[in-house]
Structure 1
């Protein structure tokens, strides 16, 4: 009797590998659980092995799996105690090869972030924090105590004026504080935080103006959007460095501008003056006629022809050739806090040579003759290196003063409210309306053709009417 051979296979039981979690018992009997994991490499190339300790084994096991998974996926962020305030400092310090005014703009954008979230750890930042920041900025940032944490010039001016209920002159305020107190007082007067007793004398706000500040507690949606854009750039830089796993600020919804037609007026409120984007051809023509006898008529013409404020204020006579009627844009003057800085134009495209229209050439020739006569009368030296936009004694105009003068002249002419840069929008829009190619219009204004069409062009009511009427004509 034969029997088939029987093969017996014995499989050893495979035990699951124990997780490398160790136990430590302190002298007082407290038990903690810890493990070590390689989380990357150090700057010198050696492995970066770190120790993690937790109170319970369940928490240690959960974190071990999370950390090892993120390390394998390349998304692990090493623990850091860096605060939002410190992160902003480091990011700003690394912004090189950009204009001083751009750095100043970034600093202003990040001020609300520092005031509201500055002490929070960067790695603990959440989308909810970003949403809370937006809500605070829109509702109470302008009057919240946090707004004055850095002792802004406006806050200092308010404090000085409040200490003189009988009134204080501008000269006394300027002597007590550094900076451009004239512009600060103008803005505070417009928002009702100070009152003007008479010309050049200011006092605390009257009782009937107490509600004005309440109506202007928040910041504009445009300001909030600018802050979120810069703050998101800060956070994204730390995502790129591996400090953060994701950019939670990029997920925060940007607020939109309020629709003037949907803004309900409360009883007793004064009507809101809507700021238009640009003027019509007739309106800009009315403005030109209204300022024809102004001393700086040539400067206003340059603004009407689309030059930036910085370019008009940075123009020197050495860059103007009245014989050939040409102008070279090579310098610009901008405000940086309480200072005015002169430097290169905004971009490479901004460096351009413009053949001037006849009316601008004649206005510049008249202004140059006037300034030479003024210099002779005052005994002030004259040279072609002098700025075109200057006072009688040769002192350069501050950018804020030029803007304030524009609004006074506009209001005196009874024209719709636009920003000073609205003259640039008007110039671009009207040139496009007249059929000039976008690339030529862009070259005249010193920017990209895509920007010309997307930002600066503005459709007029007459154009819409013509389009509609021509469809089935």
Structure 2
């Protein structure tokens, strides 16, 4: 029609990104991209959602470019449970105990988020996981599965009101019973009224509901969870690692904690009191090896053939993996070392070897230097959890401050450094990096701090103090 202008043509968007506003006001940006064809010949369209327009544009350009090149990997459709299984199965270059630790870390993730699609994970899911673990993430240790060994052991103990010995339990269930006994004692279902005898503890009137776990447990789970998610990001089947954005919970400091020190080791007088307490113990040599800073795995993996007149060769270690123990290579290359045993340790090792030979002869067995040093009287290997538990029992009888077994290793490092032994020698003795000696294992005691303060200005400080006193 004359005098009228043609309708304006609608401009085509350069990038088909749509803005979406949710009911709660949250703004996101979406786009769809053809990433190929399905098995039935139809188009395979993938929808992606991002928090910002800039992020959506960046990912749209990346995806379309990779699709054009034929290098694009579509977003994974597996669940978190399946992702955990696949990631654990692909970790072939780590030690079994490290793999078991990763498996334990991911258990809360499986329980809380296992059925969720991995590609649909959000930071909100990670935050909810943290809150759940801190408030109710602990399974009640008082309610094991009825078919578990712990339940069977508790049922047998219940049939003996006056107590049942460890030997009887071992005859019934084998050496694995020690792991179940340790968990039952920790849960308060079984008590140990006297040495090697167990009785059932009456259940409380009202069972407490499962509570939360400690922040350090949550941090460990988040670290492993983030590692798992990051592996899929690196493969190109996830756009980003949302779990890495989750804040790690800090330890809660109470008024009681403000009056406590952060000590992780003993003083010289305390370790000497412990050495006196183990003088009559059958495994005194093993406890001395721990006092001299050897790892628990190294003590329990030591064999007589690796001990000669000049050195104890650290070559293997025994670690706990679930309900089993495994002997493998030391923790690191630095851990392979030859330690000349001090006189007291050398004497204790000779006495233990003589005693074990006599025990072996009494059982009618032939002696071999390939035997482990840390064994029970019946020749069975000492389990790691028993060794840690026995340390706490000896410590309690001696009236000493509670520290974990690895605190003996911290004590050894701290006392060597306080004795002005060069840090590289301290590190070589303990089988780790010198930086580890200073940053992780060393501990400053009150006496060390007092000596440091007194030595700061030396005699000049004392002279000034006397002059101030005269004013």
The alignment's TM-score, normalised by the length of structure 1, stands at 0.77
2:300 aligned with 1:313, yes or no? yes
Shift, 1:163, TM fit: 11
* CA–CA separation in structure 2 for the residues paired with 1:377 and 1:142: 47
Root-mean-square deviation (CA, aligned residues, Å) is 3.8
Shift, 1:276, TM fit: 4.7
2:150 to 150, 157, 165: 157
Answer yes or no: is the 8 Å Cα contact 2:74–2:237 preserved in 1. Answer: yes
Counterparts of 1:356-375 in structure 2, within 5 Å, are: 356-375=341-360
* CA–CA separation in structure 2 for the residues paired with 1:290 and 1:417: 15
**SS across alignment from 1:138:** helix
| Residue in structure 1 matched with residue 380 of structure 2 by the alignment | 395
- 1:106-144 deviation line (CA, Å, top 9, x unaligned): 111111111111111111111111121122222212237
2:95 aligned with 1:99, yes or no? yes
Shift, 1:178, TM fit: 8.5
Shift in alpha-carbon separation, 1:192–1:424, aligned structure 2, 3 A: same
Shift, 1:191, TM fit: 3.5
| Residue in structure 2 matched with residue 31 of structure 1 by the alignment | none
Counterparts of 1:235-314 in structure 2, within 5 Å, are: 235-259=229-253, 261-262=255-256, 276-314=263-301
**Unpaired stretches in structure 1, ≥5 consecutive residues:** 1-12, 22-34, 43-47, 55-62, 265-272
Shift in alpha-carbon separation, 1:158–1:251, aligned structure 2, 3 A: farther
Shift, 1:383, TM fit: 0.7
Shift, 1:260, TM fit: 5.0
Aligned residues: 419
**SS across alignment from 1:364:** helix
2:322 aligned with 1:337, yes or no? yes
2:44 to 45, 48, 51: 51
Shift, 1:255, TM fit: 2.0
Answer yes or no: is the 8 Å Cα contact 2:190–2:198 preserved in 1. Answer: no
Answer yes or no: is the 8 Å Cα contact 2:372–2:381 preserved in 1. Answer: yes
**SS across alignment from 1:342:** strand
**SS across alignment from 1:130:** helix
Shift in alpha-carbon separation, 1:50–1:426, aligned structure 2, 3 A: farther
* CA–CA separation in structure 2 for the residues paired with 1:235 and 1:448: 30
* CA–CA separation in structure 2 for the residues paired with 1:144 and 1:115: 14
Answer yes or no: is the 8 Å Cα contact 1:313–1:389 preserved in 2. Answer: yes
Shift in alpha-carbon separation, 1:67–1:313, aligned structure 2, 3 A: closer
**SS across alignment from 1:417:** coil
1:134 to 130, 136, 150: 130
Answer yes or no: is the 8 Å Cα contact 2:133–2:213 preserved in 1. Answer: yes
The alignment's TM-score, normalised by the length of structure 2, stands at 0.77
| Residue in structure 1 matched with residue 112 of structure 2 by the alignment | 116
Shift, 1:452, TM fit: 1.5
* CA–CA separation in structure 2 for the residues paired with 1:41 and 1:328: 62
2:63 to 71, 88, 93: 71
| Residue in structure 1 matched with residue 439 of structure 2 by the alignment | 454
Shift in alpha-carbon separation, 1:306–1:121, aligned structure 2, 3 A: same
Q: Which stretch of the first structure deviates more once superposed, 164-173 or 98-107?
A: 164-173
Shift in alpha-carbon separation, 1:20–1:288, aligned structure 2, 3 A: closer
Shift in alpha-carbon separation, 1:152–1:109, aligned structure 2, 3 A: farther
- 1:55-76 deviation line (CA, Å, top 9, x unaligned): xxxxxxxx99786334258798
Answer yes or no: is the 8 Å Cα contact 1:158–1:193 preserved in 2. Answer: no
The structure 1 segments of at least 4 consecutive aligned residues displaced by more than 6 Å after TM superposition are 18-21, 63-67, 73-77, 162-168, 170-179, 195-199
* CA–CA separation in structure 2 for the residues paired with 1:175 and 1:377: 19
* CA–CA separation in structure 1 for the residues paired with 2:298 and 2:199: 34
| Residue in structure 2 matched with residue 414 of structure 1 by the alignment | 399
* CA–CA separation in structure 2 for the residues paired with 1:144 and 1:404: 21
Counterparts of 1:461-472 in structure 2, within 5 Å, are: 461-472=446-457
Shift in alpha-carbon separation, 1:291–1:72, aligned structure 2, 3 A: same
Shift in alpha-carbon separation, 1:164–1:293, aligned structure 2, 3 A: closer
**Unpaired stretches in structure 2, ≥5 consecutive residues:** 1-7, 17-30, 48-54, 462-471
